[in-house]
Amino acid sequence: MQVTAIIAAGGRGQRFGGEVPKQLVSVGGRPILERAVTAFLSHPAIHEVIVALPAELLADPPAYLCAAPKRCRLVAGGVRRQDSVRQAFQVASERSDLIVIHDAARPFASADLIARTIEAAAEGGAALAAVTARDTVKRGALAAGRSGPDGVGAQLMVVAETLPRDSIYLAQTPQAFRRDVLRDGLALGETGADATDEATLAERAGHAVRLVEGEATNIKITTPADLLVAEAIARGSQERAASERMEFRIGAGYDVHRLVEGRLLVLGGVSIPFERGLLGYSDADAVCHAVTDAVLGAAAAGDIGRHFPDTDPKWRDWSSIDLLRRAAAIVNAHGYAIANVDVVVIAERPKLAPFLDQMRANVAHAIGVAIGAVGIKGKTNEGLGELGRGEAIAVHAVALITRN
């Protein structure tokens, strides 16, 4: 199914005022028109976009319309909205089955709303986004023979009737139509019928128009006061987008090595005076090994044995701080940054307190974080098991990483 989107941006925004056309005013750092057009240019269901602009903008259109990622055509808008839509419709691809029309002054239509409106029109011939009335709806009428408080001026308005709120819908765009349905509606408009939207013309031409649940944030910017609401919506959207991009992942690491005579005891890149050291292929730095597995695991990038196998002579007697630095680079290459790590060293002896700050500094430098983002604690195993008997040292580590 081929779908063409028409963006009605031909108006001058007389109610908005100002020297710059309303659709070119920025909201949240981006022009209103750019936001509206981008929603359709980036939508997978849309095959081409036609923008109806004021004639004076056609000679020098905004750059984001000229460098569009898919077919984007520009036409001169007419005096009325329906004239602009008609002129855009005339240049729409003949292969288009559906035409979607959207107000340039509505910069926040979501991809889901566009998709649902297209789907409803494909099934029923015509559809429009609309929201239900939240307040009690009154129809007003002029009070006969009564003037304003000063005795002159406009007549007073009074309530003529209260309308059932559950049957009142406030129309939005997008509005979508099967090609023949829109053609019928626009033809009716050529006979002199005036309407504020194409759904009205389709109704008058005898077609049923489906209602699609609209969105409260899909506001139309009509007056400068609307910009305050629009800025708040844009700010909230930017904050949500930033939150969605901020992906957090957690990894856990563990390592244990036997204590033997004739080996230097190295933990967290610190050589610690002790009569025994940890047995291993490299320097057997259990702190670095546990942190390495934690950061690699958080990025789902394997483990220390995959990247630095003890079957490869290349890694014999390597400094584990250097291996940790390489692991951090692997995590970065996967698109993540290390936020912090926390480590627990389980050892009956020696006492580690004098060395913890230097260990933290070494690990922090290796993984590219501030020392305050590294926690290392020493614990005993209360004399239980091989750890409690001083036969081995074990280390647990947890790492938090974030998407770059």
Give the pLDDT confidence of 298-320 residue by residue, as tens digits. Answer: 999 999 999 988 888 888 778 99
Distance from C-alpha of 212 to C-alpha of 192, rounded to nearest angstrom: 29
Single pTM value for the model? 0.61
Q: Which domains does the chain have, with CATH numbers?
A: 3-135+162-245 (3.90.550.10), 248-403 (3.30.1330.50)
Q: What percent of the chain has a predicted confidence (pLDDT) above 90?
A: 66
Write down the pLDDT at residue 149: 55
Write down the pLDDT at residue 344: 97
Give the pLDDT confidence of 332-390 residue by residue, as tens digits. Answer: 988 899 999 999 999 999 999 999 999 999 999 999 999 999 999 999 999 999 999 99
Write down the pLDDT at residue 10: 80
Helix 286-298, helix 356-367: angle, nearest 10: 40
Please, what is the end-to-end C-alpha distance for the chain in angstroms?
A: 38
Q: Are strands 98-103 and 3-8 parallel, antiparallel or unpaired?
A: parallel
Give the pLDDT confidence of 72-112 residue by residue, as tens digits. Answer: 899 998 888 888 899 999 999 999 999 999 999 999 999 99
Q: Which residues pair with 345 in a beta bridge?
A: 378, 395
**Which residues are CB-contacts of 230 (< 8 A; sequence separation ≥ 6)?**
27, 28, 32, 107, 108, 219, 221
Give the pLDDT confidence of 197-254 residue by residue, as tens digits. Answer: 999 999 999 999 999 999 999 999 988 889 999 999 988 887 776 666 668 999 999 9
Write down the pLDDT at residue 148: 54
Write down the pLDDT at residue 171: 94
Q: Which whole-number Å values give the CA distances from 108 to 72, 111, 116, 209, 267, in the listed order? A: 20, 9, 15, 23, 55
Q: What is the mean pLDDT of residues 181-203?
A: 87
Q: Which residues pair with 141 in a beta bridge?
A: 158
| In the predicted structure, residue 154 carries a pLDDT above the cut 60 | no
**Residue 63 — φ and ψ, nearest 5°?**
-60, -35
Write down the pLDDT at residue 82: 85
Q: Which of 23-27, 54-58, 87-91, 242-246 has the highest mean pLDDT?
A: 87-91
| In the predicted structure, residue 68 carries a pLDDT above the cut 70 | no
Distance from C-alpha of 78 to C-alpha of 75, rounded to nearest angstrom: 9
57 and 15 Cβ atoms separated by less than 8 Å: no
